[in-house]
C-alpha cells in the first residue's frame, strides 16, 4: 500500500463554490443561508437567499452564497418534476407487471371456468338429446 498524496478529503471546491441547484441550505463557508428581501432599485422586494456570514459582514461582490428565491424554487420544481417523471415511469412499469400477472391468473381461471361450463353444457345437451330421443321413440 502506498500513500500518493495527503489529499483524500474528497471535497470538491467546484461543487462547493459552483452554482447551487435548488434552494441552498448552507454556504460553502459553512454558514447557514437565510432568505432576505432585495431593496435594490433593479429588483425591489425580490426575495433572495444569502450567506448569513456575508450578511453579517455586509459583504458585496463576494463569492458567498447568493441566489434569487424564485430561481431557486424554479430549480426545485424542475428537479421535482424530473423525479416525479422517473417515479411515474417506475410505478407504471411495476403496475403493468402486476396487472400482467393478475391478468394471467384471471385468464387461467376464465379458461378453467369456460371448460367446466362447456362440459356442463355438453353433458346437459347430451341429456336433452337423450330425453328427446326417449320422447320420440
Residue among 24, 49, 51, 72 that touches Zn ion (CB under 5 A): 51
Taking the complex as a whole, how short is the minimal distance between the CB of residue 30 and Zn ion, in angstroms? 7
Taking the complex as a whole, how short is the minimal distance between the CB of residue 76 and Zn ion, in angstroms? 21
Strands 33-37 and 66-68: unpaired
Residue among 22, 38, 46, 53 that touches Zn ion (CB under 5 A): 53
What would the grid cell of residue 95 be?
403496475
Q: Could you give the CA distance from residue 75 to residue 17 in angstroms, rounded to a whole number? A: 17
Residue 31 within binding range of Zn ion, rule CB under 5 A: yes
CA 81 to chain centre: 8
Residue among 20, 24, 27, 67 that touches Zn ion (CB under 5 A): 27
DSSP SS3 for 33: strand
Residue 29 within binding range of Zn ion, rule CB under 5 A: yes
Taking the complex as a whole, how short is the minimal distance between the CB of residue 58 and Zn ion, in angstroms? 13
Is the sign of the CA dihedral 92, 96, 97, 102 positive or negative? positive
> Which residues contribute to the site for Zn ion (CB under 5 A)?
27, 29, 31, 51, 53, 64
Amino acid at each position: 500500500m502506498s500513500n500518493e498524496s495527503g489529499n483524500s478529503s474528497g471535497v470538491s471546491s467546484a461543487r462547493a463554490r459552483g452554482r447551487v441547484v435548488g434552494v441552498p441550505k448552507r454556504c460553502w463557508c459553512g454558514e447557514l443561508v437565510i432568505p432576505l428581501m432585495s431593496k435594490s432599485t433593479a429588483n425591489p422586494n425580490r426575495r433572495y437567499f444569502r450567506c448569513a456570514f456575508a450578511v453579517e459582514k455586509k459583504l458585496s461582490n463576494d463569492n458567498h452564497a447568493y441566489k434569487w428565491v424564485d430561481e431557486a424554487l424554479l430549480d426545485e420544481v424542475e428537479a421535482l418534476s424530473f423525479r416525479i417523471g422517473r417515479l411515474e415511469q417506475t410505478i407504471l412499469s411495476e403496475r403493468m407487471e402486476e396487472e400482467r400477472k393478475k391478468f394471467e391468473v384471471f385468464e387461467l381461471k376464465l379458461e378453467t371456468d369456460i371448460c367446466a361450463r362447456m362440459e356442463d353444457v355438453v353433458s346437459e345437451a347430451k341429456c336433452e338429446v337423450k330425453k328427446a330421443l326417449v320422447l320420440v321413440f
